[in-house]
Chains A and B, each alone.
Chain A
């Protein structure tokens, strides 16, 4: 693209940050910003798309919270949008809301923002490559998200509304349309959307693996890679091995639904007073296949964030990462064990209880690498020179919150205890601590940290900290209380639980949580304003605003097409901060070895 010359001054080899208003031929505009094969543009396309879905997912969550706190009362503002019964929501609508909230957050936000946005933007820059191994595949991986965006988006408007059987899509509720009267295309579109997300992830993961294996700069050995890249690499492996199972299962469910194959339906059911078809299938089969993908997927949803947080923490603690190799081994351990723990989602599903016992052991074991990582993060902070930048605050909070999410996992891994807390708010607390308080905080850390590289400008630190502070307070107000709701047995996914004697006194607590949730979504306005303002008016950042060590910081901000102006050569690992006998407190991966530098000075 950059080989096309056109009149006018200006550096044609630089992918200009948005806002440069030079008249360009449409074709060139399309190939630069729309059907671009440049990994940075694709990364930003993923970033913007997923942030938009993040907003949609957040609003869906507020509607869910509204119903949980004040069942059957008129929904303010949003009620007008979906007013059926005069602004009050129906139970069908509520089930659709939480289904689509989870679907959007998992498949259209967390997974694509980590792998698609950060993976794309950072991998070539951090390993010293000029682009991905397969730029065209890379472009396709973004454009395959669009059929998914459209399928999920359109499903809100089809008759009967979007999917409403939970993000786990358990049959026979999903395979037999009669089980949810009035539901139409929604569930089918959901399955189609899921398939496209899968295709996109698969294209990305093949690309990431190849790029990381083949395109590292000279001197960049595997054990000199930053943790972000290790995490992206292992995430790509997880995707590649787990996704085919989900895709196959998704097609089976689609066939069950559309042509009655009956993979997941037993014979002799009576749904909605009608005998069902021949059957011959097993509902539990879906759960096995689904979780065989979706448990590894929960790590797909956090490992890259763990990697980014490790890199950011070392930079702002000015210290080498504590236990670099153990950190890598524990990521690998999580990935390996991640394939043999899926049954912990099925302890009380009717699965053989003896099998439940073995899954309990493997699940307890997977807490181990998570613990090792936590200890190493603490070790990294110990003895550092900690700078409280916004990115650092988000990173520290990632560690603090991940501790909570990891520990609550142990309760549910204990099968007897899980009998009581399964499908209660305890689980809702658990996965929001790992996914929101963990991954989303890691994502914000990553945005504040790499924003200068993405747009050549820095975000406002003061407003960044305000954003951090409010988000942190509100998220704990919303999610921490869910643990004790779960201890009462308060079930998830109930449109109204207060008619149960056991739960009717919990409404005030739920109202409190909803207020916090509203605050949490509202304070994202600060983030959005800061983000867009800084993109155009933020202070210009040099190549290396944080004095960090990685290769990405040797490239211009933002890097032009091809990334580096000189081929980077790597002499050391990424965490050489505060090296004794070195004047600067950081030694970049490309700085020539100390001895030669010292020798040259003599």
Chain B
């Protein structure tokens, strides 16, 4: 038998792919390079779908990469002596099996996702918008409807980048853009939606915990894209109402007729 060192070396290199691949994913949560904390009602579903796909693809990944490793180790020419390679052009049975099984799995996977998708993007709660978010280069302009709950009336409250929402309640955001594309990304609420000029897109969620989190722009909107940063504050109904009131008073004091220059 010829020297198998080269074969050993290359097989181990390819074995390292599944081994280190799994290791990276195993270690990631413990070094905090992983899904950020979720504080939304629908996020659990999205995260569990993520884990489900991770498990499924993880198994396929390990099995196929291990087979690859095993074949190149076992069928290294140095290990084969005088034996000829197997003269085979394929197998009808195998083709049928490995077409049907993935087809069924993929179809199931697609159908399995639909409910969560519908929750986040299709089953809009019947309510008036909690807040209108108008994206523009490079800030988030916010408009709260005020006591009459109607947008576009004189009691509207205008703010920039400082989004507040009540906890444990449905929140409906009306998302617009004034200039170019932006994307309204709340990592901790598992929300992302592009803001498109000319469109009014509804976004809804229910926060389940109080706290302060990032509002990120996730669609390239020009040179200042990286700094288009907002904050979302999730607070109790009382705190939220008090905050609204206080901001409204501040606005009255400084700006007699603010909606003039707004869209």
Contacts and interface: CB of A to CB of B under 8 A. Distances in A.
B75 A382 contact: yes
Contacts of A180: 222-223
Interface stretch (A108-116, A234-242, A415-423, A528-536): A415-423
Contacts of A321: 89-90
Interface size class of chain A, counting residues whose CB lies under 8 Å from the partner chain: 35 or more
B28 A407 contact: no
Interface stretch (B98-106, B155-163, B249-257): B98-106
Given A386-B72, A469-B13, A484 B32 contact: no
Contacts of A407: 57, 60-61
B90 A376 contact: yes
B226 A378 contact: no
Interface string B71-83: 1100111001001
A104 interface: no
Interface in A319-334: 319-326
- Report which residue of A176, A266, A494 has the largest number of chain B beta carbons within 10 angstroms of its beta carbon: A494
B95 to A, nearest CB: 5
B113 interface: yes
Contacts, number: 329
B140 interface: no
B86 A319 contact: yes
Contact of B89 (A324, A410, A509): A324
Interface string B82-95: 01111111110011
B120 A419 contact: yes
B213 interface: yes
Contacts of B221: 173
B186 to A, nearest CB: 10
B244 interface: no
Interface stretch (B145-153, B165-173, B195-203, B233-241): B195-203
Contact of A272 (B91, B179, B188, B199): B179
Given A179-B137, A180-B222, A279-B198, A383 B86 contact: yes
A367 B33 contact: no
A411 B50 contact: yes
Interface in A452-493: 469, 472, 476, 480-481, 483-485, 487-489, 491, 493
- 7 smallest beta-carbon distances between A and B, as pairs: A266-B198, A383-B86, A323-B90, A353-B121, A416-B116, A489-B187, A578-B85
Interface of A: 90-92, 95, 164-166, 170-173, 176, 179-180, 265-272, 279, 282-284, 317-326, 348-350, 353-354, 356-357, 360-361, 364-365, 367-368, 371-372, 374-376, 378-379, 381-388, 393, 396-397, 399-400, 403-404, 407-408, 410-411, 413-417, 419-420, 422-424, 469, 472, 476, 480-481, 483-485, 487-489, 491, 493-497, 499-502, 505-506, 509, 575, 577-580, 585
15 contacts: A170-B219, A269-B178, A269-B198, A283-B197, A348-B194, A349-B194, A356-B117, A374-B64, A375-B94, A383-B75, A403-B60, A419-B190, A423-B185, A484-B25, A585-B85
